[in-house]
Structure 1
Amino acid sequence: MLTIPRAIHAELIAHAQADAPIEACGILGGIDGAVSAIFRMANTDQSDEHFMMDPKEQFAVVKELRNRGLAMLAIYHSHPETPARPSEEDIRLALTPGVSYVIASLAGAEPDVKAFRITDGVVEPEPIDIVE
């Protein structure tokens, strides 16, 4: 389970809305499933169907996480026009072990944020608890 403070959940949605119509992407950091930091990343592909993070930017975030005593808990991205479920490409590119994959969909009347664990092509929904 991921525990996400309401403010970080709102920032994730705001990032998705700000970057639309391209996919937004970023990293959530924290300890033991409790998210305490969000890092917006640039989608270097500038695509509405997939995302790619800049390796230098990723390295800087991982270094910042370590400096703060945090771990990478999740990689997030948005689906501007499709539901909050992993696409075939999302599943194929889910190569970071031990992290959650969070998807923020803007396809409906209200944003929808869901989390998944993806291991060797197997997708399992993961609960999200939004806390104050």
Structure 2
Amino acid sequence: MPAALFRGHGGVMVLELSATLQGRLTRWAQAGYPRECCGLLLGRVNDGVVHVDDVLQARNANAERAGDRYELDAQDFLRADAQARARQLDVVGVWHTHPDHPARPSATDRAHAWDGWSYLILAVGAQGVDALRSWRLDGEEFVEEAVRP
């Protein structure tokens, strides 16, 4: 889908993520530190807003570089996709952590990104989660989405 379909009012892209789901992600990020954690966002896109109804954990299949890379476990992805379909939802994005690194997409994130999905990144350190930001691929570059509860 063209990125323009995901633009909300005034050209701003919006990801709606409840405080409850943000709290769940924060707990998972802290529990997984100092490894990168990852998972999927389930929901739907309506009127240019990505509504996240649920967040799921996935195993990081990148055991060699788990401190600074993630690779969604294929079986976990298939289970999440089946769960989304059963609930009449879609997989609308991926979440992952950046241990001791800002919540901005890396070159590796860009190389593996898919058009049309949100990429929610949690910056996590020894003191906890510092930031939670979402991004969407727009052509060759990431554009930040506003995150609101």
Give 1:111 deviation, angstroms: 2.4
Q: CA deviation at 1:90?
A: 0.6
- The answer on whether the counterparts of 2:34 and 2:125 sit within 8 Å (CA) in structure 1 is no
1:24 aligned partner, one-letter code: C
**2:33 alignment partner, one of 11, 15, 20:** 20
The 5 A counterparts of 1:84-95 are 84-94=103-113
Q: Partner of 1:39 in structure 2?
A: 56
> Who is 1:98 aligned against?
116
Q: 1:38 & 1:28 partners in 2: Cα distance? A: 5
Q: CA RMSD in A?
A: 1.5
Matching of residue 117 in structure 1 with residue 130 in structure 2: no
Output the TM-score relative to the length of structure 2: 0.81
TM-aligned CA deviation for residue 54 of structure 1: 1.3
> Is the Cα contact below 8 Å between 1:13 and 1:111 reproduced in 2?
no
Alpha-carbon deviation of 1:121?
2.8
The structure with the largest alpha-carbon Rg is: 2
Q: 1:27 Cα shift?
A: 0.4
Instruction: Provide the residue aligned with 2:67 in structure 1.
Output: 48
Gaps of 5+ in 2: 1-13
Aligned identity (percent) is 26
Equivalent-residue separation in structure 2 for 1:60 and 1:106 (angstroms): 26
What SS does structure 1 have at the residue aligned with 2:96? strand
